[in-house]
Each structure stands twice: as C-alpha cells, then as structure tokens.
Amino acid sequence: MFPVGFALLILSSAPTAPPGLAVAAPKLQRGDELIYIGEIAESSDRPDNRFKKKHLLEVRMFVLETDAESADCAVMTSLTTLPDDAVAKAVLVVSGSDPAKNRPSPTVHLQLIRVDSRGRTHLLEPAGPLFAFDRAKLSPAPVAPLDGLPIHELGFFVPLPVEGAKVGSSWAIADPARTPAVWTAKGETTWNGARALELTAVQKSTGWDQPGSTVDGWHRSESILASPEDGFASAVHRDISRRSGGDIVGRIAAKYELQQTNRYVGTRYTELRNEVERAWQFGRDLPVQRNSAEWQARLGKIQRYLDDHPTGTSFRPAVESLQRRTDAASRGTAPVVVSSIRIHPVEPALLRVGYPAPDFVVADVDRPTGRFRLSANKAKPTVAIFFKPGSATSKETLLVAEALYQHFGDKVSIVPLAIGAKADGAVRQREELKLKVPVYDGFDIRDTYRVTTFPQIFILEPNGQLNWTTDAGIGPETGYLIKTQLEGLLK
C-alpha cells in the first residue's frame, strides 16, 4: 500500500533573482499612522449604461500592536462621490447652486487586519470585547473588486515570496477566487526626491489574450512605488478593465499617494486606539436585521458616545458614518450605494470532481527559488497533499507522499503542501524523516482549496481537472486508494 497525498500544483522553476536592491517588507511600529489620499475613476461603456464617475479616496492605517512576525492594524477607507464637471456647470446655470459645495457625506468603512513579515494581509476579528488579538480569528483579506469600488482598500501592501525579492525578480501570488497575480520588481526610481522601487503586478482572466475564446474577461494591472528602507508604498496605481466579447465595457482606475506618516505614543495613542475599538464595536452587528426600536437603541449608544467625547481623533469619521447608517436603518431608508458598476461578479473557482481546479503557484520550503505551478504541469497527474507540520497526522502524511514519490517517479507530480504561518516547521520535519520528495509552502493557497482539516488530498488530471479528493484523514488504506486512482489515470 502506498500512502498518498494531496493533488494540487504544477511545477515551474524560477531563476535565482539577480543581485540588486531588495524589496523590503513593511516595517510597522505600534502607533504608526499612514495616510493615503487619491481618486478612483469608474466608467461604463455599455450601450444601456454609459457613465463616468469619480470618487475621492482617503485611507488611514493605524498600527494597534506588533510582534516579531506581524502587525495588527486598523484601516479606515473613505469614499466620497465627486460631482461631474459638465453636470455641475449645468446645475449652476439652471439653479444657481454649486453641487461642489454640497458634497454628499463620505461612505466610511473600518476594518482590522493583520500584516505578516512578508506583506500578506488577513482580516482580523479580536476575541471578546477586550480586543484580545492573541486569540483573534483570521480570514482572507478582500481583494480589489473587479466590478465596483473597494470598501476596504489594502492595495498599498505588496505580498512578497518566501525568499524575498530583489530588483529584476518576478514571483506569483495565489488568489482564492482568481488566477495568480504575477509581480515584478522592475527597478529603482525616485518619488518626491527619495529613492523608491517600482513594483508591478499583472492578473487576468483565462483567455484574456484571445478575445474570441471567452465571452467575458477582466484584466488587472498594478504599479506601486515603495520605499526600500521601510517597505511603505509611496504611490499606488491600479487599473481594472472588463471586456464583453472584443469590447472593453468597464474600467476602474485608482490612484493614490502617501500624504503623511505619524507616530502616536502615550495618551494620544490610547485615544486613537479607544476610538477604533468603539467604532469597531458599534459596527460589527450592523448587517443584522433589527426592528426600529433596536436600531433606535443602537443609535442612542452612538450618540451618547459622541456627546461624551466631543473631541474626536482621525478615526472619528468611522463613528459618524455608522451613526448615519444606523439612523437610516432606524427610519427604514436604504443605505447610500457608492458602487456604480455591476457587470459580472467573479465567483470563486469550483472545487468539484470533473471541473478545472484553481491554478496556483507555491515555493519549495528548502529551495525558495523552486516553484510549482499547476497550470504548467500539463503532462502528468498531480497529487496535492495539504498537511500541518508538527501535527499528529503530519508524519504519516509525509511518509505516504514519500512512498508515492518513490513509486511513481517522474510519471506523477507529488506535491506536499505545508500549512503554517512559517515554513521552517516543514523544513525540520522533512530533514528528520530524510525525505526526497520536495515540500512546498501551501499557506497562501489554503483558502483557494478550502482546506479546513488535515490532511486533505486532491488528485488532478493532466488537463487540470479535479479527479478525486478526500478529507477523511490518513490511514492504512489512503495510499492504496490514491495509488489505484493514479494507475487508472496513467492508463
């Protein structure tokens, strides 16, 4: 019997990054506040829905806590719809009033995130009412929407590969619902007289380069200037295009720059953190259906807080926005809708036998420049085995992967995927067991394949379709079942 593992990825090797300036991960400290200001322009060119709109964007990030591996932050995203110049002039002529002087209230959303030492972000939900971050729940951070405005803007973080990145290197980052994004460190430049690195990312739907092959498609490009000293993004430019047939039918372009950095200590830090905590607590239950009396009670709590704290911090707009939304809900009126474009929402990739499995790229834990990419492995089946280093089942799982690797050789790609915040645990276990099978860092694709238990095993056909999967754990029959499936595919 041959123990078997998880079928998932396709191998591609990346050359060692040439010597050059390294891309730094963000060096955040407790009390740091970063302020970004810019604009988002959206347009639609559909015959039944043509328009152009602009929105003022302001993003404030405040660092609540840090440790050696990560930083826990509050991010406040504020969007204000700007009046159309042509319409504003017409209104001024007809009514004598200037719409620019009566801007609508901004739509403000507050989110808590955790940023790790490689610039990867996760949503953060503290445990209990005391903001206990050590027991916080983590979930995938939202990516920039393809068909609307971002209510949580996190594009100023650059996810780095395991081995780091230098000028001239490229790396791919998995996406739970889309194709991988390919990043490149293009070179050194200047921004406001200071040294900066230019980083770019390209992500596109399958078939984007062949318009006749798909009905709809999308393309996202990103350009970021980042400081090589502290890793902070100085300027961000993102462009997203949507296509129907051969025609571009929608665009969303975001441009914003770092305007100011502050560091708060002592009383000022405490005031800012307290405001963030109250805004978070006021807003966490807003989506729940309530009757008018319950909304009025919640509105009263917010009003009492504002009365007791008349002098607000830079995060006061988050509380005021919640007050407006709660007031609207108490009166039964609909909330303000900021996003205008709704073309075709992107659905998460199906994980179903007989359907193509999501593409992804992973790095070798021993050889970080080594890569495995599913879409590059068209010649043979793949077994992707998700395991948790150091867990009760990890040893047996790795021995199954090793047995499969030894038995099938080059006929099958055996891809053990370590799920852990750090890959060093997988390195130690691989050395202890003296394995020959390569082991990969699967942390970034755990959500892509919806891995909730360990081990989980996927067998993929050479064409990328999911052939077989199990999350029943590891046992004496596991290897035999996988071996049988693979022998059937090889025939």
For the residues of 393-425, what is the DSSP string, one character each? THHHHHHHHHHHHHHHGGGSEEEEEE-SS-THH
Average pLDDT over residues 378-407: 93
If you average pLDDT over residues 483-489, what whole number do you get?
Answer: 92
Give the residue extent of every domain in the chain.
32-260, 266-330, 361-490
Burial of residue 252 (CB within 10 Å: 0-12, 13-18, 19+) is: buried
What is the rounded average pLDDT of the residues 452-471? 90
Beta partners for residue 386, in sequence order: 417, 456
The pLDDT assigned to 161 comes to 83
Residue type, 358: P
For residues 356-371, give the mean pLDDT: 82
**In the block, residue with structure tokens 């100011």:** 260
The confidence score (pLDDT) of residue 407 equals: 94
**pLDDT over 50 at 164, yes or no:** yes
- Of residues 38 and 293, more confidently modeled: 38
Cα first-last separation, the chain: 19
Q: Which residues contact 71 (CB under 8 A, 6 or more apart)?
A: 26, 28, 63, 65, 114, 115
Question: To the nearest whole percent, how much of the chain has pLDDT over 70?
Answer: 84
CB 29 within 8 A of CB 263: yes
Q: Which residue has the tokens 């693979």?
A: 486
Query: Cα separation of 82 and 47, whole Å?
Result: 23
pLDDT of residue 423: 73
Q: Compute the distance between CA of residue 480 and CA of residue 491 in angstroms, rounded to an integer.
A: 17
Q: What is the mean pLDDT of residues 349-354?
A: 73
Question: How far is the C-alpha of 369 from the C-alpha of 144, rounded, in Å?
Answer: 28
Mean pLDDT, rounded, for 240-254:
90
| Residue 6 pLDDT > 50 | no
**Among the ranges 149-153, 324-328, 382-386, which has the highest mean pLDDT value?**
382-386
Q: What is the distance between the alpha carbons of residues 118 and 24, in angstroms, rounded to a whole number?
A: 9
Which CATH architecture describes the domain 361-490?
Answer: 3-Layer(aba) Sandwich (3.40)
Question: At CA 437, angle to CA 372 and CA 121, rounded to 5?
Answer: 45
**Length of the chain as a residue count:** 491
Q: In the predicted model, what is the mean pLDDT of residues 86-104?
A: 55
172 burial (CB, 10 Å; 0-12 / 13-18 / 19+) is buried
Can you give the pTM of this predicted structure? 0.71
Q: What per-residue confidence (pLDDT) applies to 126?
A: 82
Specify the pLDDT at position 344: 37
d(CA 161, CA 171): 7
- Show the tokens assigned to 264: 């708060």
Burial class (CB in 10 A: 0-12, 13-18, 19+), 265: exposed
The band of 304, judged by pLDDT with boundaries at 50, 70 and 90, is very high
Higher-pLDDT residue of 297 and 338 is: 297
What residues form DSSP beta bridges with 222? 201, 238
**Phi, psi of 338, deg, nearest 5:** -90, -45
The pLDDT value given to residue 14: 32
Ranges 91-95, 189-193, 476-480: which has the least confidence: 91-95
Q: Is the pLDDT of residue 314 over 60?
A: yes
Most confidently modeled range among 79-88, 236-245, 365-374: 236-245
pLDDT of residue 238: 97
Residue with the larger pLDDT of the pair 163 and 241: 241
Q: Are the CB atoms for 187 and 197 separated by under 8 Å?
A: yes
Q: Tell me: domain 32-260, CATH 3.40.50, correct?
A: no
Residue 192 has pLDDT above 90, yes or no: no
pLDDT of residue 10: 22
The chain-wide mean pLDDT, for the chain, equals 83
Of 137-146, 203-212, 263-272, the least confident: 203-212
Q: How far apart are CA 226 and CA 189, in angstroms?
A: 10
Compute the average pLDDT of residues 59-84. Answer: 93
- Give the CA dihedral 262, 266, 271, 273, nearest 10 degrees: 70
HSE of 193, CA atoms in CB hemisphere, 13 A: 0
* Arithmetic mean of pLDDT, 108-127: 89
Question: Per the structure block, which two tokens stand in for 433?
Answer: 């067991």
Sequence-distant (6+) residues with CB within 8 A of 127 are 134, 135, 136, 137
